Every structure is written in structure tokens, then in C-alpha cells.
Amino acid sequence: MKQIIVVVLALFALSNVRAADSQVRIDGHSQDSTAAGIQAMYAAHDNRDKCLLETAILRIQVGDQAAQAARTGDKHAQATPLGPKINGMTYGQILQFSQKYPDKVKGLCRN
């Protein structure tokens, strides 16, 4: 019985840490604060979730660069800064937001 209680308490503690970690928000007001937020978010997730986050960020950047090139006619156009686009977003919101961009980044995350 004592072992079950310890396991339940450990699972409860882990679930609370995970819930708190999933609420990390990006401060996109500067390049440094954006990078710090992404690093904190990255540290709070397991390898699969880290890969999904990296893929989402790449998808946003590549999609934005393609859109910028289409608007300007310059195939070497630079993407606009990432921070303002993901400012205030959580992990789940970044993944959802990345779905607005064409999927030009594929096969990075293995099951």
C-alpha cells in the first residue's frame, strides 16, 4: 500500500510539473528574450515534443521566408523576426500557429 501511495504522489508531482512547464510563454519582444523562452520551453519537454517544437519553428520561419519572397519577388528575401509572431504563445499554441504555413519541413521527428 505504501508503494502505491508513493507512486501516486510521484505521478501527481510529475503531472503538476508537466502542466506548469506546458504553460511557458514566449516573450517575443527581443531576439534574446525569444531565444530564452524557446530554450525554457525546450527544456520543459521530452525529446518527441522538442522535435515537434523545432519543426514548428522551422515551418514558421521557412513559410514566412517563402511568403516574403512571393510578396517582394526576391527569392533571397529574409524572413521577418520570429519573436513578434510567437509572442505570448505556449508550446501548443506555437504548434497550432505553425499549421498556418505550408508544410515544407517534413520527416524530422521519428515516432
Specify if 40 maps to a domain: yes
Domain coverage including residue 74: 2-98
Specify if 48 maps to a domain: yes
**Dihedral sign, CA of 24, 25, 28, 33?**
negative
> Per-residue pLDDT tens for 74-103?
888 888 899 999 999 999 999 999 999 888
Residue 106 pLDDT grade (very low, low, confident, very high; cuts 50, 70, 90): confident
- Please tell me the predicted confidence (pLDDT) of residue 107: 67
SS3 category, 78 = coil
> Per-residue pLDDT tens for 50-68?
999 999 999 999 999 888 8
Specify if 57 maps to a domain: yes
Number of domains in the chain: 1
Specify if 106 maps to a domain: no
47 pLDDT exceeds 60? yes
Specify if 27 maps to a domain: yes
Predicted model pTM: 0.75
Query: Any idea which residue has 524530422 for its cell?
Result: 108
Specify if 86 maps to a domain: yes
Specify if 74 maps to a domain: yes
13 pLDDT exceeds 50? no
Q: Which of 100, 65, 98 is nearest to 81 (CA)?
A: 65
